[in-house]
Structure 1
């Protein structure tokens, strides 16, 4: 009991109290009271939430002021196991440094690659419940994804993937142009018989790099020769078997373009077993500029770098514009943004004298 002269203390009403009384989720209450854009809450639900909040005397605190006002100054990075891949550090670094430039904090949830749709939705909800202003969804492989519906509640962008519905903005590496540039480098060194050791796994990167290889041949005026196109697993073993097949014949190619740096490692081994020197007898190039492979093999590998840092920075910069924009036009993105993949010249290409 209160003593004489003491006033009874009224418990502070929180957002969960409003949600419980209105029969909706905490996230819905947050979106309604803070007028978060791009949500699908019905007008009837909005009216009920506002009415309950008034009746209970709810007063929002700083974190609950809403995503629209960027009260939390926090954005989420929902990853598809990229934190365990060799390239993840550059993506995260690019995102973190760009976030710092905008005075934002980056919250990361690393999801398992084989996680189901329910798990991905739960991860997205976990970020939203932490009052993030927006979410970046990064995938380990370049492919089409079904974006968790929870991501429609806040501004969102994709790294390395395409939204099947063509709604969420996405950034991808321009692998076709990178591959074409690599073929151009070989052609400028006098190579006309340029083989392509492709991946046998059907993912968009496989298609993009093959398209770039063929485009590069065409631009250099080199006829396509399907006998110079092979495929294998995208590891050192696959590079070894495909390159051994290409090099162990009289009309061997003078250069091999490998799908990735790991396959290039196998190509080095195949050349060595056949008594061929890299790059004197055969030039070998890769793709990905994967550390520590590309710079550590001997001779150091000429390859193409994927713009991981740039994609992380692009995602944060774009997400910041989405958060600050009152227009939904930003949300329509039928074509992804493609970032350049620069050629990294090292020591594995020589002038062809054959």
Structure 2
């Protein structure tokens, strides 16, 4: 399966090299005032940036001329209900600032009336250069009519007629990467606990899982797939279910990190060990993935880079438009790297997972998403 590549080093690469979040990398490299990090963390991030050859773009220092358009309006349906949108905003804000622009962020809570008012008032500002229109879940959207009259890029969403350029995560590639990593470790019975299947992310991660199995000539076994809801509680419950099948998996790919946390707890509850008896891999690379026992191997959801690419695409299209250069709308799919930690190991000498003791009806108090 061919994967997309990014030639220049990114903040995601630095986060992977140092084991910190993309937001932490952004704050340190941008010299954020008031952000408190240990000297060791700061030093590691700066060293990794230097070794990878990463450089922040030169910021525009000249004063903005009267009437110059330098404001980018960022409209999101949700920001506070998930950790991901905030990192999208970080990437968009940094890209705007590094190109001499400011980012104004609005959250509509998915309310059509609020969205209409925001667009009406925000776009009345003569300094507006363009709009980033973002959604918390990757999905198809009906583009609001006002956005067809102003330069706009879609972030984490897309339109059927491709009337606007969009930047979305490469979820099929991510599902493939996670499953391929388990196969490379020697696993042949790989369970998959998905999220809510109506979401594009869940559908595409399942596609990636199936493609990786097919590429390795491994059969797809529907009995090893469970549909969850992205929560640790479901991850716990569905892992118990997977481990009760006659020939249980030796590894479990979880649709996100919270599900993986529940899976790890369930494996332990059954008297088994991660990764010695059962390997577990997550998706997203949330901050908590570094603090599980063992630390969680996971695939990065490149939220920071999605925000950055959205703004840079908007600015590039506006530059081409101003120069009269032709350009066509495009959909950019960004994949994130896999971060190896301690939750994946080869299966034991080609054996299936050892018998698990019954967990009965025991429930543990796990934080749900």
Q: Tell me which interval the TM-score lies in, with the shorter structure as reference length.
A: 0.7 to 0.9
Once residues 216 and 281 of structure 1 are traced to their aligned partners in structure 2, the CA distance between those partners, rounded to angstroms, is 22
TM-score (norm 2): 0.73
Residue from 289, 295, 302 that aligns with 1:307: 302
Structure 1 residue runs of 5 or longer lacking an equivalent are 1-61, 66-70
Task: Name the residue aligned to 1:59.
Answer: none
Aligned-pair CA distance for 1:273: 1.4
Aligned-pair CA distance for 1:147: 1.4
Once residues 145 and 294 of structure 1 are traced to their aligned partners in structure 2, the CA distance between those partners, rounded to angstroms, is 31
Once residues 201 and 245 of structure 2 are traced to their aligned partners in structure 1, the CA distance between those partners, rounded to angstroms, is 29
User: How far does the alpha carbon of each residue in 1:305-353 deviate from its partner, in whole angstroms, 9 at most, with x for none?
Assistant: 11111111111111112222335954x53x5210112111110001112
Indicate yes or no: 2:306 matched with 1:324. no
Indicate yes or no: 2:204 matched with 1:208. yes
1:43-62 counterparts in 2 under 5 A?
Answer: none
Task: Name the residue aligned to 1:140.
Answer: 136
* Helix, strand or coil at the partner of 1:286: strand
Task: Name the residue aligned to 2:101.
Answer: 104
Task: Name the residue aligned to 1:280.
Answer: 276
Once residues 315 and 213 of structure 2 are traced to their aligned partners in structure 1, the CA distance between those partners, rounded to angstroms, is 40
Once residues 79 and 226 of structure 1 are traced to their aligned partners in structure 2, the CA distance between those partners, rounded to angstroms, is 36
Once residues 294 and 275 of structure 2 are traced to their aligned partners in structure 1, the CA distance between those partners, rounded to angstroms, is 8
- Most deviating of 230-239 and 310-319: 230-239
Once residues 241 and 297 of structure 2 are traced to their aligned partners in structure 1, the CA distance between those partners, rounded to angstroms, is 22
Structure 2 residue runs of 5 or longer lacking an equivalent are 1-64, 352-369
TM-score (norm 1): 0.76
Counterpart contact for 1:247–1:253, Cα < 8 Å: yes
1:190-269 counterparts in 2 under 5 A?
Answer: 190-269=186-265
Counterpart contact for 1:232–1:241, Cα < 8 Å: no
User: How far does the alpha carbon of each residue in 1:233-280 deviate from its partner, in whole angstroms, 9 at most, with x for none?
Assistant: 221111112110111244110000011111111111211111111111
Aligned-pair CA distance for 1:201: 3.5
Once residues 76 and 249 of structure 1 are traced to their aligned partners in structure 2, the CA distance between those partners, rounded to angstroms, is 51
Residue from 180, 192, 195 that aligns with 2:176: 180
Change (3 A) 1:204 1:329: farther
Indicate yes or no: 2:88 matched with 1:91. yes
Task: Name the residue aligned to 2:116.
Answer: 121
Counterpart contact for 2:197–2:203, Cα < 8 Å: no
Task: Name the residue aligned to 1:25.
Answer: none
Once residues 142 and 102 of structure 1 are traced to their aligned partners in structure 2, the CA distance between those partners, rounded to angstroms, is 27
What root-mean-square deviation, in Å, do the aligned CA atoms of Structure 1 and Structure 2 show? 1.7
Once residues 328 and 82 of structure 1 are traced to their aligned partners in structure 2, the CA distance between those partners, rounded to angstroms, is 35
User: How far does the alpha carbon of each residue in 1:90-123 deviate from its partner, in whole angstroms, 9 at most, with x for none?
Assistant: 211211211122111111112113x12x321221
Aligned-pair CA distance for 1:228: 0.8
Counterpart contact for 1:248–1:274, Cα < 8 Å: no
Higher Cα Rg: structure 1 or 2?
A: 1
Counterpart contact for 1:175–1:341, Cα < 8 Å: no
Task: Name the residue aligned to 1:28.
Answer: none
Tell me the number of residue pairs that the alignment of Structure 1 and Structure 2 aligns: 282
Counterpart contact for 1:121–1:149, Cα < 8 Å: no
More helix by share: 1
Once residues 312 and 80 of structure 2 are traced to their aligned partners in structure 1, the CA distance between those partners, rounded to angstroms, is 21
* Helix, strand or coil at the partner of 1:178: helix
Aligned-pair CA distance for 1:211: 0.3
